[in-house]
Structure formats: structure tokens, C-alpha cells
């Protein structure tokens, strides 16, 4: 298992953003669904080693990120795209991706090819020499995905990766996700249930810091039988599970 989580919590002041989550995930694409404020981003940030848990047990790639040495090794093998990734506007797309590759200690002989491959995979090959300041929102998002996958991560964490992408790009991105999920554990946090239905083998639905459903997208869709809120079966399942959790 690349992700093993037991009773994980994270508090910000008096707010318990993640309230005792248990989760295990191996290779494949894992969807993390939930309404705003459900705790998806906080959970993802803990998995990215960006913030430590308040309590509970977290193991990533078979290691405990609480220790400096294991955390360093996890980070080298991790890819992370937060909700709002920053960038230096004066960098070209290639420089931006190369910078992250160098920080992640991609072997020097492989850097050029790794950068080119990552940029091609997000279909920005023709913009690789464009300055970041000249890119549209969707292109910036794709550049962010490129930096996350440049080290061919074994654990890839993506927070709202399809925000700002047009429908054609979203379809291409789902294909990329399925491809990445062949070798790595890919966790995708999103509001867009159709992305989960199309690309994820497993899905967890969070509400108020807890996981209220864990199973397959089909399993989630099945929970929506007889419901009317939502246009697709999985949306109806999403609404039904949330309504049940809140009742």
C-alpha cells in the first residue's frame, strides 16, 4: 500500500479540518470527493507532507513522514499539485518544470528528457519556451500538472487538477490520469464527480472532516437509486450519501 492512514486528524486552531480519517490506497487512481470545507485539501496537504497531522498514523510509500530522513525520501518520489500552485512569471514553462526536476534530484542525465516528456504529456510542447506570464489559466494548470509528474512520482497528489481546463483538455487529462495510475498511486481531489466516474477506480467521499463513503464509483452511483438530486447516477449517489451522513 502506498498510502496507509489510521485515525488521522488535523486541527487549525479550534477547527478540526480532518476528523479521524482511515484510508488505504495502492496503485491506481483514487478520487477524493466532497463539498467545500469537507477536509479534502487538508488531507491532501498532509499526504504531501506540507503540514503534519495533529494526531493519527500516516505512512506514505511504506515510510513514516514524521522522520526527517523518510520524509526526504517520500518528497523525492512524490508529485504534488495544490489548489493554487505559484509560479515565477519570468520563467518559461520548461524552466519552471526543470526547476522542480532539479529540486527533486532527477538524475542529471535524465533531466532534459524528463522535462520534455512531462511538458508533452500535458500538451504544452508548443509552449515550452513561453513565459509563464503569457499562459492562460488552463495552460498554467497544465504546467502545474507537468511539474507534478516530472519525476515520474510513485505517489501523485492533485488538488482540483481540472479546474480551468476546457472539456477537450479534461478528456485528455483523464486519459493521462489513467495512464499514470498504471504505475503510481494517484489521488485526485475534485468537486467534479464526472471526472471521478471517468478516471477513478476507487473513490472516497468526505464531509465535515470524515470519510462518509469509500468504494467504487459504481458503488457510489448505486447509492443514489431513487434519488432525484443530480443529473447523473454518480451525482445522485453523491447527494444521497451526503444527505444520509448529515441526517
Query: In this structure, what DSSP letter does residue 131 have?
Result: B
Question: Cβ of residue 61: shortest distance to another protein, in angstroms?
Answer: 13
CB of 83 to another protein, least distance (A): 9
Examine residue 86 and tell whether it contacts another protein (CB under 8 A). yes
Candidate residues 40, 75, 141, 236; the one interacting with another protein per rule CB under 8 A: 75
Closest to 96 (Cα-Cα) out of 47, 60, 141, 56: 141
* Complex with another protein: residue 112 or 243, whichever CB lies closer: 112
Give the distance from CA 237 to its chain's centroid.
Answer: 22
Binders of another protein among residues 133 to 172 (CB under 8 A) are 144, 147-148
> With respect to another protein, which residue has the nearer C-beta, 62 or 89?
89
Contact 147, 94 (CB under 8 A): no
Taking residues 45 to 64 in sequence order and writing x for each that binds another protein by CB under 8 A, - otherwise, the string is x--xxxxx------------
- For residue 36, give every residue at least 6 positions away whose Cβ sits within 8 Å of its Cβ, in sequence order, or none: 191
On whether the CB atoms of residues 99 and 91 are closer than 8 A, the answer is yes
Q: Please tell me the total number of residues recorded for the chain in this structure.
A: 247
d(CA 131, CA 214): 41
How many residues at the interface with another protein, by CB under 8 A?
36
Q: Enumerate binding residues for another protein (CB under 8 A).
A: 12, 45, 48-52, 71-72, 75-76, 78, 80-82, 84-91, 95, 98-100, 102-105, 108, 111, 144, 147-148
Amino acid at each position: 500500500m502506498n498510502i496507509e492512514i489510521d485515525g488521522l486528524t488535523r486541527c487549525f486552531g479550534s477547527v478540526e479540518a480532518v476528523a479521524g480519517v482511515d484510508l488505504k490506497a495502492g496503485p491506481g487512481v483514487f478520487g477524493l470527493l466532497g463539498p467545500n470545507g469537507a477536509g479534502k485539501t487538508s488531507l491532501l496537504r498532509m499526504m504531501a507532507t506540507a503540514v503534519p497531522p495533529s494526531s493519527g498514523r500516516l505512512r506514505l510509500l511504506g515510510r513514516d513522514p514524521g522522520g526527517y530522513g523518510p520524509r526526504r525520501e517520500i518528497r523525492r518520489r512524490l508529485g504534488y499539485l495544490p489548489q493554487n500552485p505559484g509560479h515565477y512569471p519570468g520563467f518559461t514553462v520548461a524552466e519552471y518544470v526543470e526547476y522542480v526536476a532539479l529540486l527533486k534530484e532527477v538524475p542529471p542525465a535524465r533531466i532534459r528528457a524528463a522535462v520534455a516528456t512531462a511538458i508533452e504529456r500535458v500538451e504544452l510542447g508548443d509552449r515550452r519556451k513561453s513565459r509563464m506570464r503569457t499562459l492562460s489559466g488552463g495552460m498554467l494548470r497544465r504546467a502545474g500538472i507537468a511539474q507534478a509528474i516530472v519525476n515520474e512520482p510513485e505517489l501523485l497528489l492533485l488538488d482540483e487538477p481540472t479546474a480551468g481546463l476546457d472539456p477537450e483538455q479534461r478528456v485528455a487529462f483523464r486519459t493521462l490520469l489513467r495512464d499514470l495510475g498504471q504505475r503510481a498511486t494517484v489521488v485526485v481531489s475534485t468537486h467534479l464527480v464526472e471526472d471521478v466516474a471517468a478516471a477513478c477506480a476507487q473513490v472516497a467521499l468526505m464531509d465535515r472532516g470524515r470519510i462518509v463513503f469509500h468504494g467504487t464509483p459504481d458503488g457510489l452511483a448505486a447509492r443514489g437509486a431513487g434519488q432525484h438530486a443530480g443529473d447523473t447516477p454518480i451525482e445522485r449517489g453523491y447527494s444521497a450519501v451526503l444527505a444520509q451522513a448529515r441526517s
